[in-house]
Amino acid sequence: MSQDADLARAQQRFARRQRLVRWKGWLPWAVGGAVVLLSAITVWLFYFSSALAVDGVRVTGADTVPVATVTQVAEAPLGTPLAKVDLNVIAERVRGIQSVADAQVTRAWPNQLEIVVTERVPVVVVTDGKQFELVDATGKAFKTVPARPDGLPEALVVGERRDVTIKSIVTVSAALPVALRSEVRSISAASPDSITLNLGSGVKVVWGGSDDSARKAEVLSVLMRRQAKVYDVSAPDLPVTKGEKR
d(CA 134, CA 77): 33
Which stretches of the chain are DSSP H helices? Answer: 2-47, 67-74, 87-95, 162-175, 178-181, 213-223
User: 139 φ, ψ to 5°?
Assistant: 90, 10
DSSP 62: -
Mean pLDDT of the chain: 84
Name residues whose C-beta falls within 8 Å of residue 68's C-beta, 6 or more positions apart in sequence: none
Cα–Cα distances (Å) from 65 to 70, 73, 99, 121, 189, in that order, read 7, 12, 7, 12, 30
pLDDT (0 to 100) of residue 17: 62
DSSP 81: B
For residue 236, which of 216, 217, 221, 220 has the smallest C-alpha distance? 216
pLDDT, tens only, 168-191: 999 998 888 888 888 888 899 989
d(CA 134, CA 149): 9
What pTM was estimated for this model as a whole?
0.71
pLDDT, tens only, 106-126: 999 999 999 999 999 888 898
Name residues whose C-beta falls within 8 Å of residue 236's C-beta, 6 or more positions apart in sequence: 212, 215, 216, 218, 219
pLDDT (0 to 100) of residue 223: 92
If DSSP codes are grouped into helix, strand and coil, which group holds residue 107? strand
Chunked mean pLDDT (size 10), the chain, 246 residues? 58 59 57 62 64 91 95 94 93 96 95 96 84 88 87 82 88 86 88 92 93 93 92 94 79
Cα–Cα distances (Å) from 187 to 166, 200, 233, in that order, read 10, 11, 15
Q: How far is CA 166 from the centre of its chain?
A: 22
pLDDT (0 to 100) of residue 36: 63
d(CA 37, CA 26): 16
For residue 192, which of 141, 234, 152 has the smallest C-alpha distance? 234
